[in-house]
Amino acid sequence: MATSEKKTAYERFEAKVRKEATGCWIWTGAKDGSGYGKFKGHDKVMTPHKFSYEDKTKSTVPKGKIVKHTCDEPLCVNPEHLVLGTYSENAKERWTRTGRNLQPADVITRAIRKAIPAVTENQLISALQALGLSVFTEPGDGDTA
């Protein structure tokens, strides 16, 4: 039987987006512990801003790259506010922009990994959060989906 009422991934995505006067599109759907949203795209779970970027550019984010926000709003999914970057670039820029006099999260992440080689991603995130640091990891890029 044809499932004519089945929505496309983009329609499901758009239904969860609130477009703000600032130009940001705020994700109102499911969230995970990282502060980003969670969205089941075409066949895998990803962050909604990554889905938005990939859908807009009709491309796939290459391994080792992340989709960054130019607007500092982690829940924003407006593709106009999204650019490709790397994890460390993102951490660096974020610390520069906030002007906080703290070590970048990636420096601390490296220090923790060196001290505790068996540390899991979740323990690492908890440790960073306990230090009051934001976590910039890109959750669920599909490897385990």
Q: Which is nearer to Zn ion, 23 or 142 (CB)?
A: 23
* Residue 76 binds to Zn ion (criterion: CB under 5 A): yes
- Asked if 71 is part of the footprint of Zn ion (rule: CB under 5 A), the reply reads yes
Separation in Å, CA 134 to CA 11, 17, 90, 102, 115: 31, 23, 11, 11, 20
83 SS3 class: strand
- Scored b (16 or more CB within 10 A) or e, 94-120 reads bbeeeeeeeebbbebbeebeeeeeeee
The answer to whether residue 135 forms part of the interface with Zn ion (CB under 5 A) is no
CA 83 and chain centroid, separation = 12
Q: Does 24 bind Zn ion (CB under 5 A)?
A: yes
Report in angstroms how near the CB of residue 48 gets to Zn ion at its nearest: 12
Which residues in 28-47 contact Zn ion (CB under 5 A)? none
With contacts defined by CB under 5 A, name the span among 23-31, 54-62, 108-116, 129-137 that binds Zn ion. 23-31
Contacting residues toward Zn ion, per CB under 5 A? 24, 71, 73, 76, 78, 81
